[in-house]
Amino acid sequence: MSERHRHDPLLVEYYDQFLDDNNLSAFLRHVSNRYYVGTLERLALNGERMARRAAVLALGRLSDYQSNHVLGRALVDLDRGVRVLAESAIALIWPRVGLAIHQRRLGAVEEQLDRGDYDRASQLAGKIIQDAPWIAQSWYQRGKAFFHLGQYEAATRDCHQALEINPYHFQAASVMGQAYETQHNLVAALEAFRRALRLNPNMEEVRARVIQLQRTLKNQ
């Protein structure tokens, strides 16, 4: 065994095997048998580069909203691989919040958003908000639905509320920026897009909008 492997946690060996065989189920099985979520969270923040990647990948599948803060910090990790994995992982845990009925309802809203039935999505999300107003994802979902329905002020309000509850919700910041831009409030749009980019530096489309808006405002 190499010097590197002798000093790396067992988690990295599991991750190396996953990279070789692309067997996610086996990776998660091995990890769940040997690691607690709390240990994975510590490795995600303080492990060496490959351990951080492995821990973030595992947390996205094995944890729930309790790991939001850790994965939110991983979004701005110095390693791009960690950041990319964190972007996928944190989106997976956001709907894993509340009771089982809340999670099922969040899934139903997401189905309506995917189908483009934004009116139905806004109604379903509104019911979740009435029952559990502390769930950020439902505010984001309704904000996204309102945006597509052309209700831009309502969209910005809901996305702002999502960010009040979950300060790592880069998707809500992005939709808020789009809503402000559509309303020709370019200063507010720029700030919202910058916020999204601070939360998730991997958002290249948002980065492009920031550059374009900066140029537009400079020339006004």
Q: Which of 39, 59, 93 is the last residue of a domain?
A: 93
Higher-pLDDT residue of 50 and 6 is 50
What mean pLDDT is reported for the chain? 95
Q: Looking at residue 119, which CATH number applies to its domain?
A: 1.25.40.10
Statement to judge: residues 70 and 169 lie in one domain: no
Statement to judge: residues 195 and 111 lie in one domain: yes
Statement to judge: residues 62 and 113 lie in one domain: no
Statement to judge: residues 59 and 125 lie in one domain: no
Condensed to tens digits (0 to 9), the pLDDT of residues 155-197 reads 999 999 999 999 999 999 999 999 999 999 999 999 999 999 9
Statement to judge: residues 211 and 151 lie in one domain: yes
Statement to judge: residues 181 and 110 lie in one domain: yes
Q: Count of domains in the chain?
A: 2
Q: Which of 93, 114, 148 is the last residue of a domain?
A: 93
Predicted local confidence at residue 117, as pLDDT: 98
Cα(101)–Cα(51) distance, rounded to whole angstroms?
34
Distance separating the N- and C-terminal Cα atoms of the chain: 63
Tokens of 30: 């091995």
Predicted local confidence at residue 9, as pLDDT: 84
Confidence of residue 219 (pLDDT cuts 50, 70, 90): confident
Statement to judge: residues 146 and 183 lie in one domain: yes
Condensed to tens digits (0 to 9), the pLDDT of residues 95-146 reads 999 999 999 999 999 999 999 999 999 999 999 999 999 999 999 999 999 9
Statement to judge: residues 148 and 205 lie in one domain: yes
Percent of the chain with pLDDT over 90: 95
Statement to judge: residues 160 and 110 lie in one domain: yes
Average pLDDT over residues 4-31: 87
Q: Which of 93, 114, 133 is the last residue of a domain?
A: 93
Any residues with CB less than 8 A from the CB of 100 and at least 6 apart, and which?
none
pLDDT at residue 4 greater than cutoff 70: no
Query: Which residue segment(s) compose the domain that 76 sits in?
Result: 3-93
Statement to judge: residues 81 and 121 lie in one domain: no
Q: What is the pTM of this model?
A: 0.92
Share in percent of the chain as helix, strand, coil (round to 5): 80, 0, 20
Packing angle of the helix pair 152-165, 136-148 (nearest 10 deg)? 160
Predicted local confidence at residue 8, as pLDDT: 61
Statement to judge: residues 85 and 127 lie in one domain: no
Statement to judge: residues 167 and 205 lie in one domain: yes
pLDDT at residue 1 greater than cutoff 50: no
Average pLDDT over residues 152-157: 98
Long-range pairs for 43-46: beta carbons < 8 A, 24 or more residues apart: 43/9, 43/11, 44/70, 44/71, 44/74, 44/82, 45/70, 45/73, 45/74
Percent of the chain with pLDDT over 70: 96
